[in-house]
Chains A and B, each alone.
Chain A
Amino acid sequence: MLSKEEVKHIADLSRLKLSEKEIELMQKDLSAVLDYFNLLKKIDTSKIKLETEKFVSTVNISHNFEDFDGLLGTRKDEAIHQSREVVEKLIQAFPDKKDDYIKVKAIL
């Protein structure tokens, strides 16, 4: 089982504030998750490789460039102009903003 300190550390890294009770709960929950992964880790995957070609065809990435072909799964270096509408929606989605900046709690 995970120690209290380990859970606190993970919570810190995830910027989560946990109460004593939640820490105890997480000790059990997280441990169960990790146990499950340890079970998965026992499977011998040394002979299995993620095939780039399959990956590429699944996610449908184009990879035929006129000038520089031969690197599967990458895109040609072309800048595409973002529509202002999309950019504005992204800015609208900021939890807090000042002009077009995202505003956050003071850091460092």
Chain B
Amino acid sequence: MTYKVTIGLEIHAELKTNSKMFCSCKNDPDEKRPNYNICPICMAHPGTLPVANEAAIRKVIKTGLALNCEIARESKFDRKNYFYPDLPKGYQISQYDQPLCEKGFLQISDRMIGITRIHLEEDTGRLMHSAQEGRASSSADGRPDGESFSLVDYNRAGIPLMELVTEPDITSGKEAREFAQELQIILRYLDVSSADMEKGQMRVEVNISVSKTKKLGTKVEIKNLNSFRVVEKAVDFEIQRQTKLLDAGEKVVQETRGWHDKKEITFLQREKESAHDYRYFPEPDLPTLHLKEDYIIKIKSHMQELPDQKRERFEKEFGLDKDSIEFFVTNKDLSEYYEKVVSEFEEWTSEQEKAGAHVKASKLVANYLISDIKGLLVGKEFIETEFKITAENFAEFIKMIYKNEISSKVAKMVLVEMFNTGGDPSEIVLQNNWGQIKDVGELEKILKEVIEKNSKAVLEYKSGKKNALQFLVGQVMAKSRGTANPEKVSELFIKLLK
């Protein structure tokens, strides 16, 4: 029997701003010194007054616009009350009934996923636990027995945090992962968040229910998912677990579960006590926000290109295939470099060959960046300021291939050299004597040598074996260290061996 699977996501993202949400402390997710970026406001000392960070509000609205949301004309902050040591004030400033953005959607592979709301709040402090639950008396970390405590660092407390809630439109682990991945790209394109899941800058929570009938099943929450892969796996595991329970005639219990990385299973998590009795009320220290039309229009006019717009443009402008386009969409910095190289290349082409050259160069540049450069970077991120090859030199390199001035074998050697030294490609070719042999006499000399040493292959060729010619050409290429033009070599062989 088939079950109806209903999934909604709650995604938090730390915003990339200079300062915290309600005070002027530095927003620095990389600060290692504990309790360094703190002040009387974010530490909740009496008599302090929070003032909202305009850039954070603007970034949430920008995200809302990108996700086709309605932007509130009037929005306010509320207090969400609970006691937990990661929360200095005893409440979190959040938004309850008047979020900044509502009713949007995001399309992922032909499906529309509705977005219920996006609101703005402040992040909590970071907790470190000294001893594992259930073995408080052990001394695995060298602490004396019984001394079990937690440490709190408030550098993160008060950092602007965006929360996005989707409609229950998702039906599989794959869709959940795709949604989260596309959202990450959008947040990065808009410069809203670094959205690094491993660093906790983007956190995904899943609400999932499985039901035999059209009616919704019992909602189970999965938390602490720290990568896209885990989001997909946890959802698929949970669908199976709940299906098995229902098949056996048992009931699914409403609960919060975590993900166990090693066992690859979800497990029951102990929850903060009475976590759902938050007693929200309007934050009296912050004025209502009035978001006027010209303010929103101004944000709209400052919008960066979105990933979907880029997909369309890269197909139209460069004629790349789907996989290459996806590579560039997910590697934004490299895609910007790519565009620079292609436009630099145009400088090398004459008016009459422009159109044809553009098509060919677009593909050539893409191929060299996607395979060779990616390989040379060995997993390291592309950072243009640290990358030694200038766009201009890269374009000249492509021109040399395009104009057949170097063979593809030499091209690979030149590229490695450029990558390591940042040198000019024509200089590199000249210095290493890698230019193509233009002198037919010199080439014939090499060919004759190869013919002499490979009489077996020559005989095979003469008896009609085409592969033998490939072998002979290969020998010449090796002997010339790639500086011969393979087409010319093969032509010459055919002439010589007639």
Q: Which residues of A contact B (CB under 8 A)?
A: 9, 12-15, 50, 52, 55-56, 59, 61, 65, 68, 70-82, 86-87, 90-91, 93, 98-108
Please give me the 7 A-B residue pairs with the lowest Cβ-Cβ distance, nearest first. A77-B55, A101-B151, A74-B54, A73-B287, A80-B24, A79-B26, A106-B148
* Contact call A108/B288, Cβ cutoff below 8 A: no
Q: Complex formed: what's the CA distance from A82 to B43 in Å?
A: 13
Query: Is B353 an interface position by the 8 A CB rule?
Result: no
* Contact call B151/A52, Cβ cutoff below 8 A: no
Query: Is B434 an interface position by the 8 A CB rule?
Result: no
A78 contacts across to B, CB distance below 8 A: 18-19, 24
Please choose the segment from B187-195, B271-279, B329-337, B381-389 that sits at the chain A interface, where 4 or more of its residues have CB less than 8 A away.
B271-279
Q: A56-B287, A82-B25, A82-B38 are in contact. List 15 more A-B contacts (CB 8 A).
A: A13-B82, A52-B290, A65-B54, A77-B54, A79-B25, A80-B24, A86-B39, A87-B36, A90-B38, A101-B35, A101-B128, A101-B151, A104-B152, A107-B84, A107-B150
Closest to B37 in A: A82
* Contact call B58/A68, Cβ cutoff below 8 A: yes
B49 contacts across to A, CB distance below 8 A: 59
Query: Is B127 an interface position by the 8 A CB rule?
Result: yes
* Contact call B270/A108, Cβ cutoff below 8 A: yes
* Contact call B40/A79, Cβ cutoff below 8 A: no
* Contact call B295/A70, Cβ cutoff below 8 A: yes
* Contact call B129/A90, Cβ cutoff below 8 A: no
One of A72, A74, A79, A98 near B27 (C-beta < 8 A): A79
Q: How large is the interface on B (under 10, 10 to 19, 20 to 34, 35 or more residues)?
A: 35 or more
Query: Is B291 an interface position by the 8 A CB rule?
Result: yes
Chain B contact residues: helix, strand, loop or mixed: loop
Q: Could you tell me the distance in whole angstroms from the C-beta of A74 to the nearest C-beta in chain B? A: 4
**Contact of A106 with B131 at beta-carbon distance under 8 Å, contacts A73-B52, A74-B51 already known:** yes
Q: Complex formed: what's the CA distance from A78 to B53 in Å?
A: 9
A72 contacts across to B, CB distance below 8 A: 287, 289-290
Chain A contact residues: helix, strand, loop or mixed: loop
* Contact call B27/A104, Cβ cutoff below 8 A: no
* Contact call A101/B40, Cβ cutoff below 8 A: no
B34 contacts across to A, CB distance below 8 A: 99-101
**Contact of A102 with B18 at beta-carbon distance under 8 Å, contacts A56-B287, A79-B27 already known:** no
Q: Can you spell out 6 A-B residue pairs with CB atoms less than 8 angstroms apart?
A: A73-B287, A75-B51, A90-B35, A90-B39, A101-B128, A101-B151
B38 contacts across to A, CB distance below 8 A: 82, 87, 90
* Contact call B277/A13, Cβ cutoff below 8 A: yes
Q: Complex formed: what's the CA distance from A2 to B66 in Å?
A: 48
Q: Could you tell me the distance in whole angstroms from the C-beta of A39 to the nearest C-beta in chain B? A: 18
Closest to A54 in B: B287
**Contact of A77 with B53 at beta-carbon distance under 8 Å, contacts A87-B36, A90-B43, A105-B150 already known:** yes
* Contact call B40/A90, Cβ cutoff below 8 A: yes
* Contact call B18/A71, Cβ cutoff below 8 A: no
Q: Complex formed: what's the CA distance from A64 to B289 in Å?
A: 15
